[in-house]
Structure 1
Amino acid sequence: MSTFGTLFRVTTYGESHCKSVGCIVDGVPPGMELTEADIQPQMTRRRPGQSALSTPRDEKDLVQIQSGTEYGVTLGTPIGMLVRNEDQRPKDYSEMDIYPRPSHADWTYLQKYGVKARSGGGRSSARETIGRVAAGAIAEKYLRLSHNIEIVAFVSSVGPIHLFDPEADPTSDPAFHSLLSTITREKVDSFLPVRCPDAVASAKMADLIAEYRDKKDSIGGTVTCVIRNVPAGLGEPCFDKIEAKLAHAMLSIPATKGFEVGSGFKGTEIPGSKHNDMFIPHPTKPLSLATATNYSGGIQGGITNGENIYFKVAFKSPATISIAQQTASYTGEPGTLEAKGRHDPSVVPRAIPIVEAMAALVVMDMVLQQQSREATREMLGRAARLVPELSRAEEKAAVEGAEKILEAVEKA
């Protein structure tokens, strides 16, 4: 389906070369100031044509709010948002009428629906993520205003080039946690076009992407994301644990192939005596606890513990490349496909706002669910405070009633 979320629900629509793409967002709290200016920055970070290392497709991706606000304030009703496709070139994909692109969704979509988009990837194109980013920007604003929650993602590897030593465990490195606690989007964007927050690593990554671009090939990488100031208690056991929802969200992004939270796969190599997050008194919150290591990535038992949530998402090398490839036609005849069109040699630099948006959608949904739980609990608390008075009144009435019955019996 094309809908994500429980209380904060997002439905995206549109294909890569149709007239427009966008979304409907339901569950936005009323009374929040909201205009296109709140949404456009993330749309601009996601849009194509940002640099020589991305697709040259020229789209401004200007978002238009269609409903759900009046005079710049949310009404609590569904918010519709639209972005027009302006630089369409469906004729670039004529070869797709003969050959399904290797590792793309052409063949699987045809098997599922019996028909497929003839231009681009249709719904499997990263163009679909525009609606996610627009919705995520709304969620982020509410989370920032209500809880000061901050979400920042950055490129942590491209091909074999890593920001941190891949053989070591970065979660035990104080420099890694310092980065997670201090990194900002402004800092990340200062390392364009790659968005890896280290001058040396970023330059090497840029050179590697350019090398694959010039060879008409592609290369993958990873994105690391941190969510700060998350309140403790978010998450729904057992099947909607917050890391499960984050994994669902991240692996729904096109081209993703892996997800790990906290110490992730490296944590399997650390004995429990060292891996356990030991509790310590919270340094700034009285009568609260913190953890000494945060190997758990801010989540224990599927519920947030108040520490930074951090996770990593793996993106494969883009499937659409211009190198001639030996493949088979839809009828099974051998042939050669040399894809045309405009494609990213690596998706990770433009994936940053998409990862942030999906993280925001998950946290927003969990915040609303927890707020509803706390509100109902508070209502029960108010009712419980009235119970003793009601009980005494009922006891007095019962005693008086019994006395009257005894008097009537005696008189009889």
Structure 2
Amino acid sequence: MSTGSNFGKLFTISTWGESHGEAVGVVIDGCPAGVELTEEDIQIELNKRKPGKSIFSTPRKESDKANILSGVFEGKTTGTPISIVVYNNNQKSKDYSEISRFYRPGHADMTYDMKYGFRDYRGGGRSSGRETIGRVAGGAIAKKILSTLNIKVTTYTKSIGNISTSIDFDENEIWKNDLCIPNKSCVEKTENYLLDLIKDGNSCGGIIECRVDNLPSGLGEPVFDRLDAELSKAVMSIGSIKGFEIGNGFSASKLTGIENNDFYRYENDVIKKESNNAGGILGGISDGSRIVLRAAVKPTPSIKTTQRTVNKSGENIDINIKGRHDPIIVPRAVIVVESMVAITLVDMLFRNVNSRIDNIKKIYSKPQ
């Protein structure tokens, strides 16, 4: 029986561990030999989602130090499974003992009980955002592979609440502020909005946008394993993601065909599109233009404001949730979305190799 902790077909990740267990980690399989890789490569990415960096994330203090246990020798991957572990050093399980008796609104408490008849209530167990450490570690390796092909993945906060943050987009600003906003002028306004929510014991959601440049055409299968379907599955598998779209997405439903179609023209004997409403994918297959996708993130469900729920004794109760939580999930989820996109693209690149006999010949034909 599969427990749903594996992702990918040729380039795969398998995450493991709980929020308040001894450690969390990931096993990456299918990585080719010869990729230059160090623990620092992994650490750079993990630091982007590390808790306790600002008032806008959980105050839980963790170093999130990556330890590579296998699959790397003398700074290069060996072609065998890569195992990475991150030890939990700042668990406070007693903060969560009370919630073992009731179900938190917006969390997976009730559905875990319905499925398993038992749950790890310490910070949510496997449903905790801490599970994403394995995804980010796997994404770090995937991005190393993509960089050898000059494929670039750029992800950022597009909006928080009703505040649009991507006006006058500046890529260099994304990782210079705590909210991953690509526009310096929007940071202060957004911070003030969040500070007001924190004072009220409330939270909010937002939208994450991801762009992929220099991806070759031809990735994706025509039916079930379409590139957009695989990307959707990857991103929607992240906790707190409640919506996904590519290109015009839901707004395409309000357009006419003449408005939504991307027209073609030849430029120097190369087919070009006049627009990119499709977001770089047609018929489930990449068309060679920029991939543009967005993910909608729900508000953090753990809020200090009084909420109505039920307990296991069959009573209606009111609760105030204790513990350490992010007032907004979006900034720490940016690198998680980027990682899952990168993992998906590497897997699809590897799966696409056998789509044409010419590709097989390039690998296996002997020089005449």
Q: Specify the SS of the correspondent of 1:82.
A: strand
Q: Aligned partner of 1:317: which letter?
A: P
Alignment check: 8 A CA contact 2:62 2:88 kept: yes
How many angstroms does 1:371 deviate by? 2.0
Matched with 1:293 is: 275
For 2:308 and 2:360, locate their aligned partners in 1 and report how far apart those are by CA, in whole Å: 65
Query: Aligned partners of 1:382, 1:98: CA distance in 2, in Å?
Result: 61
1:48 and 2:30 are equivalent in the alignment: no
CA contact (8 A) 1:106 1:116 kept: yes
Q: Is the 8 A contact 1:231 1:305 kept in 2?
A: yes
Q: Does 1:345 align with 2:331?
A: no
Q: What is the deviation of 1:381?
A: 12
How far apart, CA to CA, are the structure 2 residues paired with 1:381 and 1:187? Answer: 41
Determine the structure 2 residue equivalent to 1:369.
Answer: 351
Question: What does residue 157 of structure 2 align with?
Answer: 155
> Alignment length, in residue pairs?
363
Candidates 92, 97, 100, aligned match of 1:94:
97
2:183 is aligned to 198
Task: Indicate the residue corresponding to 1:10 in structure 2.
Answer: 13
**Is residue 199 of structure 2 the alignment partner of residue 214 of structure 1?**
yes
3-state SS of 1:120 partner: coil
Distance 1:376 1:15 in 2: 45
RMSD of Structure 2 on Structure 1 (CA)? 1.9
Counterpart code for 1:234: L
* Structure 1 residue 77, shift from structure 2 partner: 0.4
1:37-116 alignment runs, 5 A limit: 37-116=40-119
Counterpart secondary structure, 1:45: coil
Structure 1 residues 112-132: Cα deviation after superposition (integer angstroms, max 9, x where no partner): 011100311100010000000
Determine the structure 1 residue equivalent to 2:290.
Answer: 308
Code of the aligned partner of 2:165: L
Q: Distance in 2 between matches of 1:95 and 1:288?
A: 63
Residue 342 of structure 1 aligns to a residue whose secondary structure is coil
1:35 has 2:38 as partner = yes
Partner Cα distance (1:227, 1:130) in 2: 22
Is 1:255 the counterpart of 2:250 in the alignment? no
Partner of 1:20: 23
Pair 235,94 (structure 1): closer, same or farther in 2 beyond 3 Å: same
Give ranges in structure 1 of 5+ residues lacking alignment.
Answer: 166-174, 387-412
Cα contact 1:99–1:337 (8 A) shared by 2: no
Give the TM-score of the pair, scaled to structure 2. 0.94
Q: Does 1:379 find its partner at 2:361?
A: yes
1:139 to 2:139 alignment = no
Matched, 1:269 2:254: yes
What TM-score do the two structures reach when normalised by structure 1?
Answer: 0.85
How big is the shift at 1:68? 0.5
Q: Which residue of 2 aligns with 1:188?
A: 174
| Distance across 2 between alignment mates of 1:163 and 1:281 | 35
1:290–1:306 Cα contact (<8 Å) kept:
no
Asked if structure 2 preserves the Cα contact closer than 8 Å seen for 1:59 and 1:85, the reply is yes
For structure 2, the 5+ residue unaligned runs are: none
Contact 2:166 2:181 in 1 (8 A): no
Give the corresponding residue for 2:265. Answer: 280
CA contact (8 A) 1:193 1:206 kept: no
Between the aligned partners of 2:11 and 2:363, the Cα distance in structure 1 is 27
Residue 60 (structure 1) shift: 1.2
1:82-134 superposed Cα distances (whole Å, 9 cap, x missing partner):
00111100000111121111110111101101110031110001000000000
Contact 2:166 2:182 in 1 (8 A): no
C-alpha spacing 1:304/1:333, structure 2 compared with 1 (3 Å) = same
2:222 paired with 1:237: yes
Distance 2:254 2:203 in 1: 32
Greater share of residues in helix: 1
Question: In structure 2, the residue corresponding to 1:320 is in which secondary structure?
Answer: coil
Q: CA deviation at 1:271?
A: 1.3
Larger Rg: 1
Measured after TM superposition, the shift of residue 78 of structure 1 is 0.3
Q: What is the SS of the residue equivalent to 2:47?
A: helix
Cα 1:217–1:287 change in 2 (3 A) is: same
Residue 376 (structure 1) shift: 6.4
Say if 1:348 and 1:90 are closer, same or farther in 2 by CA, change over 3 A: same
Give deviations 1:128-155, integer Å, cap 9, x for gaps: 000000001101101111x101111111
Report the AA paired with residue 338 of structure 1: N
TM-aligned CA distance change 1:238 to 1:135, over 3 Å? same
CA distance 1:119–1:382, change in 2 (3 Å): closer
**What is residue 389 of structure 1 aligned with on the other side?**
none
Letter in 2 for 1:324: T
Mark the CA change 1:279 to 1:21 in structure 2 (over 3 Å): closer, same or farther. Answer: same
Q: Please tell me whether the aligned partners of residues 95 and 339 of structure 1 are also in contact (alpha carbons under 8 angstroms).
A: no
Give the superposition deviation at 1:288. Answer: 2.5
Q: Which residue of 2 aligns with 1:320?
A: 302
Amino acid at match of 1:31: G
| 1:120 aligned partner | 123
- Residue 67 of structure 1: CA displacement? 0.3
